[in-house]
């Protein structure tokens, strides 16, 4: 069964969701991210996707204390991203309790640094963030577009040993209109060796099952949980 990975996005230490990466379209859901993470764990989920949106905007980790609290008070396998731009940032994330760290913008802007992390920490610890708008890589909290093909980007890093890739179709994120099945199908065809994690647009259990049928490794579920479209009880059943 596909790995179900609930998401917590952080601004000012609170659980929020953006729509299509737009900070002006922010909705706050909970002021206690630890309690949210614990509710995921109580439902039998084992993973957590934790995103520091303040960090993504400021280009440095900001919410590491929240990461530390969740890592200390749960047994969740946490992948952490947002603002990881330097050796100091990635060391801080791991010391605060992250099991894996996602690099997106840094993998575009400073390839040598990202490749060094992959060599130093290993392919089980480093996730490539490959977020796309119209099949082109988007960076800087999705605020900046590039001319880099997402398919070429992932394939290139797959050759360098990357095993885990999180890909969000920015146009789908936060809209609850279903994930970008075709994007993930093409990514799988181009880079069959990677463990692909789909993110953005998931609105129902049917979406999760559809991705599972495609053989996708993992799916990140965020807004659908917070808006009550998918219950933790439903996720618990799927996760058995």
Over residues 71-82, the mean pLDDT reads: 97
| Confidence at residue 177, expressed as pLDDT on a 0 to 100 scale | 82
Strands (E), 94-210: 100-103, 126-129, 132-133, 136-139, 144-149, 164-168, 195-199
Place of tokens 């960076």: 139
Banded pLDDT at 23 (limits 50, 70, 90): confident
Banded pLDDT at 25 (limits 50, 70, 90): confident
* Domain ranges (residues) in the chain: 3-238
pLDDT above 80: residue 240: no
pLDDT above 80: residue 139: no
pLDDT above 80: residue 142: no
- pLDDT (tens digit, 9 = 90+) per residue, 173-229? 666 788 999 999 999 999 999 999 999 889 999 999 999 999 999 999 999 999 999
Answering whether pTM is above 0.85, one says yes
| Confidence at residue 174, expressed as pLDDT on a 0 to 100 scale | 63
Strands (E), the chain: 3-11, 14-19, 22-30, 47-52, 77-81, 100-103, 126-129, 132-133, 136-139, 144-149, 164-168, 195-199, 218-221
Architecture of the CATH domain 3-238:
Alpha-Beta Barrel (3.20)
Strands (E), 173-234: 195-199, 218-221
pLDDT above 90: residue 27: no
Over residues 88-112, the mean pLDDT reads: 96
Over residues 161-166, the mean pLDDT reads: 98
| Confidence at residue 112, expressed as pLDDT on a 0 to 100 scale | 97
Q: Which residues are catalytic?
A: 9, 131
Banded pLDDT at 157 (limits 50, 70, 90): very high
Instruction: Give percent of the chain with pLDDT exceeding 70.
Output: 95
Residues 6+ apart with CB under 8 A from 111: none
What is the C-alpha separation between 50 and 70, in angstroms, rounded? 10
pLDDT above 80: residue 20: no
């Amino acid at each position: 069964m596909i790995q179900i990975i609930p998401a917590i996005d952080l601004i000012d230490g609170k659980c929020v969701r953006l729509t299509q990466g737009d900070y002006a379209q922010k909705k706050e859901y909970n002021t206690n991210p630890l309690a949210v993470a614990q509710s995921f764990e109580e439902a039998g989920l084992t993973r957590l996707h934790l995103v520091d949106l303040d960090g993504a905007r400021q280009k440095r980790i900001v919410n590491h204390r929240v990461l530390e609290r969740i890592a200390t008070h749960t047994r969740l396998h946490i992948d952490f991203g947002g603002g990881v731009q330097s050796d100091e940032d990635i060391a801080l994330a791991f010391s605060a309790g992250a099991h894996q760290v996602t690099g997106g913008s840094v993998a575009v802007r400073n390839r040598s640094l990202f490749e060094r992390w992959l060599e130093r920490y290993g392919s089980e610890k480093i996730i490539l963030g490959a977020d796309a708008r119209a099949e082109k890589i988007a960076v800087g909290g999705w605020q900046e577009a590039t001319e880099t093909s997402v398919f070429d980007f992932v394939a290139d890093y797959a050759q360098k040993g990357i095993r885990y890739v999180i890909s969000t179709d920015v146009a789908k994120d936060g809209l609850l209109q279903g994930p970008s099945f075709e994007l993930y199908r093409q990514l799988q065809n181009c880079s069959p060796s990677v463990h692909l994690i789909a993110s953005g647009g998931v609105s129902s259990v049917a979406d999760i099952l559809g991705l599972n049928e495609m053989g996708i490794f993992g799916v990140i579920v965020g807004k659908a949980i917070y808006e009550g479209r998918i219950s933790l009880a439903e996720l618990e059943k799927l996760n058995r």
